[in-house]
Chains A and B, each alone.
Chain A
């Protein structure tokens, strides 16, 4: 702050440099997304225009109308929702049980269980692809959302267990002791005493797991043929002919699947950062 008085020129030069950096970062982070939104609002013919003309061109919602009229995309949205909600619901339930056990109980083999769960969370998906493919086929779940729900548990369960455990550990023990004294069973303690306290953690963890399941691509591409989720639909979005890439529609579909995520992320901003750091940074 002294610099302002001793050398004002240098001070203002530094400030200007700093704000230039802020501007560059802001543009870098947002420009590609902005351009995608813009393209989704322009008619296919305008794609040939120069960037300035393109920005000024007429706004149209025809791409969105086309995308929502596309049966493949409609089904994709529904399947994505079913698969993501299903795998997250199962993971949260199992994760809450496990987190309660790992965060509150002392027993032999606890460290091993923690390491197994951590090891599974770093499993490359490809390592289980052929085993899962044959398993899903044998269960008759190929091209079935249930098959995807099952396979997504491989990354949603370790994540929810890990993050929820770190939350449960931070809950003051008095709550649980009071319940124990009153003669509550462990399950009653979990559902009636800990669940209300864990609510913010469950919401955050669930949201992060939902984002992962919603975005998953490799399993969705491999375990389904027609009942595709949205990432696969968007990856294979094609136009009337093979050589015609309908960029306006692809961008509209992309915006449709992204905007709900962005809104959720912005609403739960603070919780998300704490959820991410609980999951990753426990140095």
Chain B
């Protein structure tokens, strides 16, 4: 601080304090910024960098620059080597999008129903509120194993009992619906918690006025509750969609890593990178997943004008 100026220069003094405080803030932020640069910035840069090379995971230093060849490359014999030419990649994209759209939609509807029920006065409300936290608190891998057991064709309550010994998870086309059911069970609670918090912040006088005017509960829901909940609902939707788009655990545990590669974008990228040791190709797929997810975030934020603080 340089405060050698006479009394008349009071504004300069405040500016000095402001500047000192700004410097302190930078120092306080520095460790976080360094950590983020190390664990997020640098690895992201490396992933993008590797995506332009042909390289093996075990020897990243021996790499050849091939430009966008990992994305799209046709050999003279007419064989497509880029992952964008691989139908399996597009299958993974389709399955991930289906998984995301259906599960987030169902979670929102079920979450809304549960939140509305818990928000009304009745006996056993406290119990239901507590029960809501259970699926949310369960680790995803544990929930996947629990459901894999329920779906099991010789022991499972659902697989043996309801479906009469049908192996739902054996076929990826039917498996994706089974996985959606698992995700909906696990994350509806999260939606319900966020919606409930939104519901409890709504002003009650509006509902009293609506009652006076003779609006039915149904009208009140569509005309009052839903519009007022919009901000809370949209942020919850964005967070859930992002989680669903990067899904991997459920697929990996319930279908194995091989079938996870044809049902989840992350699974496809990980298989290329780790199981097949293709550092360049795996990085290229990761970049594609990153771009897809970021585009969807930007679309959400601009289309709905979601505000993050």
Contacts and interface: CB of A to CB of B under 8 A. Distances in A.
Interface of A: 18-19, 21-22, 25-26, 28-30, 32-33, 35-36, 39, 47-48, 51, 90, 94-95, 97-98, 100-102, 105-108, 110, 113-114, 116-118, 120, 122-135, 150-151, 153-154, 157-158, 161, 166, 186, 190, 211, 214-215, 217-218, 221-222, 231-232, 234-235, 237, 245, 247, 250-251, 254, 257-258, 261-262, 264-266, 269, 272-273, 276-277, 280-283
Given A32-B150, A130-B282, A281 B46 contact: no
Contact of A283 (B33, B235, B249, B269): B235
Interface stretch (B75-83, B138-146, B202-210): B138-146
Given A211-B137, A265-B133, A126 B266 contact: yes
A107 B143 CA distance: 45
Contacts of B38: 150
A116 B21 contact: no
B21 A107 contact: yes
Given A126-B290, A186-B24, A273-B197, A51 B130 contact: no
Interface string B269-298: 110011000010011001101100100010
Contacts, number: 278
B155 interface: yes
Interface of B: 18, 21-22, 24-26, 28-29, 31-33, 35-36, 38-40, 42-47, 50, 57, 60, 113-114, 117, 122, 124, 127-128, 130-147, 149-150, 152, 155, 157, 161, 185, 189-190, 193-194, 196-198, 230-232, 234-236, 239, 242, 245-246, 248-249, 252-253, 265-266, 269-270, 273-274, 279, 282-283, 286-287, 289-290, 293, 297, 306-309
Given A98-B28, A266-B130, 20 more contacts: A33-B134, A39-B149, A97-B29, A107-B21, A107-B26, A122-B242, A124-B242, A124-B289, A126-B286, A130-B57, A130-B282, A154-B40, A157-B36, A217-B140, A222-B270, A231-B141, A235-B252, A281-B194, A281-B198, A282-B307
A125 B246 contact: yes
A248 B133 CA distance: 24
A254 B145 contact: yes
B137 A251 contact: no
Given A251-B149, A269-B133, A105 B246 contact: no
